[in-house]
A and B are shown apart, each in its own frame.
Chain A
Amino acid sequence: MIDFRLYMLQRLSALIMVPLVFGHIAVMIYAVQDGLTAAEILGRTQGSIMWFLFYGSFVVAVSVHAAIGLRTIISEWTAMPMRLVNILCWSIMAGLLLLGGRAVLAVTWLGQAPGVLS
């Protein structure tokens, strides 16, 4: 049971993720050449608008994509009422946005990121 708009949104979010995944992997391979330390990562990412937008859009795309995919799987494999499935998947999307957003802020914000415990 899938809504056509959700179907398109899931494909579009996948299209956004493809270059971001390759960008992420490429940077990882490049970055570990000189050893991987927290200081080295934070030195590159903290205060960078570019990395904030890169991983920020990644988190948004992943949250949307995963929530729609799980909605389809849950509705096909369980007898859960659709209303409950929708509530569950909205919650999953919100959770992914919260956790992902917190992680992005933690590595791109200069100084102590808001809402992030040291």
Chain B
Amino acid sequence: MPDGSPKPETEQRSLRVKVWRGSGGEGGYETFEVPRQPSQTILDVVTWIQQHSDPNLTYRFACRVGMCGSCAMMVNDEPRWTCRTHVDRVLKGDELRIAPLRNLPVIKDLVTDMDPFFDKWVSAEARHHPTADRHSDFAAITPDDPHRLEASSGIECINCAVCYAACDTVAGNPDYLGPAALQRAWTLFNDARDEDGDAILDAVSGTGGCHNCHSMGSCAHYCPNELNPMTAIAGLKRATARRFLTGRGKRKPS
């Protein structure tokens, strides 16, 4: 680099990072100075703080490559998968604000209790109801089967709870099952190998069910894998309405 030319922004400054500290519903933001680095992710920032400033900082991560869904946090008040979120993309000025995921109880610092999130997967009957035993033939499902395509559109969910944290309906109604659980239920409903579509429709028709969704679309907007739980929820609404009007539950595979 020629003399006198400006240094890259990343060498010029450090970050002021406000990190939420506390547990049991009590706590506040603590500010740290973190050196700016090229291609730095939010998870890199949090890790730097723990390794160099405060080893007591508690956070959760595993794979660091956007596969496991462990490291989601609120970054500048928006839910993000922190291992794949570059500082460049979310920085406003020199300041970052990092907090635990919204809509979930906080265990400590940046770690939330994920039990309510996963309990709702069970409540939504988002589990496989098998039709076959070990002696059965394989289910022949063509890649262009419409039900398979519906299932495929939601199958890459990594359970990161970003959609759950983004959802204002969850915030207003703690009983609401949430986008991820409902999307999983819709995926299974469209699985030809799942035999209890009625159980799924019953589960998503309760007081916390899919009909609470206002189609605001925050789940689709923030999903890091660019899935669209809102569309899946609309599918469940259609399926429950069709069963109400015609008595027909799960469509048979074509």
B208, A1: Cβ atoms under 8 Å?
yes
Determine how close the nearest CB of chain B comes to the CB of A78; give it in whole angstroms. 10
Q: Is the interface of A mostly helix, strand, loop or mixed?
A: helix
B242 to chain A, nearest CB (A): 11
The complex places the Cα of A17 from the Cα of B108 at a distance, in Å, of 52
* 0/1 string, B148-183, CB within 8 A of A gives 1: 000000000000000000000100110100000000
With an 8 A cutoff between CB atoms, is A4 at the interface? Answer: yes
Report the contact-size class of chain A (Cβ under 8 Å from the partner): under 10
A9 to chain B, nearest CB (A): 10
Q: Does A11 contact B (CB under 8 A)?
A: yes
The verdict on A26 contacting chain B, using a C-beta distance below 8 Å, is: no
A3 within 8 A of partner (CB): yes
A8 at the interface (CB under 8 A from B): yes
B244 CB–A CB distance under 8 Å: yes
Q: Mark B33-51, 1 if CB is under 8 A from A, else 0.
A: 0000000000000000000
Q: Is A76 part of the binding interface, using a Cβ–Cβ cutoff of 8 Å?
A: yes
Asked if B90 lies at the interface with its beta carbon under 8 angstroms from chain A, I say no
Bound together, the chains give a CA A80 to CA B158 distance in angstroms of 36
Q: Known contacts A1-B173, A76-B172, A76-B173; is A11 also within 8 Å of B241 by CB?
A: yes
Q: Is A4 a contact partner of B173 (Cβ separation < 8 A)? A: no
- Complex interface: chain A residues within 8 A of B205 (CB): 4
Q: Flag whether B85 is at the interface (Cβ < 8 A).
A: no
A54 at the interface (CB under 8 A from B): no
Q: Which listed residue (A2, A8, A11, A77) contacts B207, Cβ 8 A? A: A2
Assess whether B224 is interfacial by the CB under 8 Å rule: no
- In the complex, the answer to whether A1 meets B244 with C-beta atoms within 8 Å is no
Cβ of B70 under 8 Å from chain A: no
Residues of the A chain whose Cβ atoms lie less than 8 Å from the Cβ of B206: 4
A4 to B208, CA, bound (A): 10
* Contact call B241/A1, Cβ cutoff below 8 A: no
Give a binary string over A1-42; 1 marks a CB under 8 Å from any B CB, 0 the rest. Answer: 111100110010000000000000000000000000000000
CA distance A76 to B209 in the complex (A): 14
Q: Give every chain A residue within 8 A of B173 (Cβ-Cβ).
A: 1, 76
CA distance A35 to B227 in the complex (A): 56
Chain B 170-211 residues near chain A, CB threshold 8 A: 172-173, 175, 205-209, 211
* Cβ–Cβ contact B211 & A4, under 8 A: yes
12 CB contacts below 8 A, A to B, read A1-B173, A1-B175, A1-B212, A2-B212, A3-B207, A4-B205, A4-B209, A4-B211, A4-B244, A8-B241, A8-B244, A11-B241
A residues sitting closer than 8 Å to B (CB atoms) are 1-4, 7-8, 11, 76-77
